[in-house]
Chains A and B, each alone.
Chain A
Amino acid sequence: DVKVTQSSRYLVKRTGEKVFLECVQDMDHENMFWYRQDPGLGLRLIYFSYDVKMKEKGDIPEGYSVSREKKERFSLILESASTNQTSMYLCASSLLTGDNQPQHFGDGTRLSIL
């Protein structure tokens, strides 16, 4: 089974801090994704990556950046955390671009910015 592991289940940080959310997948998937999930808004795509060192902006990239130095790891960075970035963050991976392969999700990181 595919395993997508997010480094923290819960995280509390302060406004202005630089925050790193880590995600690792163990199935050699090319694609990796970061979403945030807020009540009533579904999942919104922040960034995705289809290869090492490659990244594409999603629908809400402002205030975020990403890093993919190795195929299995995709990091989401909040450069200067703000309270409106309090949310559930979900990482996902999938095999190949342009194919009908489903995404496999991690358990999520519930991030609170105080």
Chain B
Amino acid sequence: AQKVTQAQTEISVVEKEDVTLDCVYETRDTTYYLFWYKQPPSGELVFLIRRNSFDEQNEISGRYSWNFQKSTSSFNFTITASQVVDSAVYFCALRNNAGKSTFGDGTTLTVKP
């Protein structure tokens, strides 16, 4: 069985602060894929970033960056210089090689002006 845990239920920051969303996962598979999705108040989930289990290189994409550490089974996501439009629910997800996806419970991020 696979599992994704997002321990932070809600986070509130002030605009321009950096914020890190935590994600810890469990899987017995050696090959798997990790994703972050954003669900704004309008409701539609939007893909943000992804990482393969065999690639631990961390990257930055604009204001987004992620820290994938296989040793601790963590895939944390950071938004730099947060903006009000970043307010949303963020989901971490794990997919195995057979296509089955498991999502965390989500972290609600509120960015105040």
Nearest-neighbour CB distance to chain A for B24, whole angstroms, equals 14
Q: Give chain A interface residues in 7-41, CB to chain B under 8 Å.
A: 31, 33, 35, 40-41
Nearest-neighbour CB distance to chain B for A38, whole angstroms, equals 10
Q: Which residues of B lie under 8 Å from residue A107 when comparing CB positions?
A: 43-44
Contact of B106 among A42, A45, A90, A108 (CB under 8 A): A42
B52, CB-defined interface residue at 8 Å: yes
Q: Give chain A interface residues in 69-114, CB to chain B under 8 Å.
A: 88, 90, 92, 97-100, 102-108
Q: Which residues of A lie under 8 Å from residue B101 when comparing CB positions?
A: 33, 45, 48, 103
A98 to B47, CA, bound (A): 17
Number of contacting residues on A, CB 8 A?
A: 28
B97 and A98 form a contact (CB under 8 A): yes
A33 to B105, CA, bound (A): 18
Known: A100-B50, A102-B47, A108-B44. A42 touches B99 (CB 8 A): no
Q: Which of B35, B46, B101 has the most CB of A within 10 A?
A: B101
Contact of B100 among A41, A56, A102, A108 (CB under 8 A): A56
B98 and A98 form a contact (CB under 8 A): yes
Q: Give chain B interface residues in 66-113, CB to chain A under 8 Å.
A: 91, 93, 95, 97-106
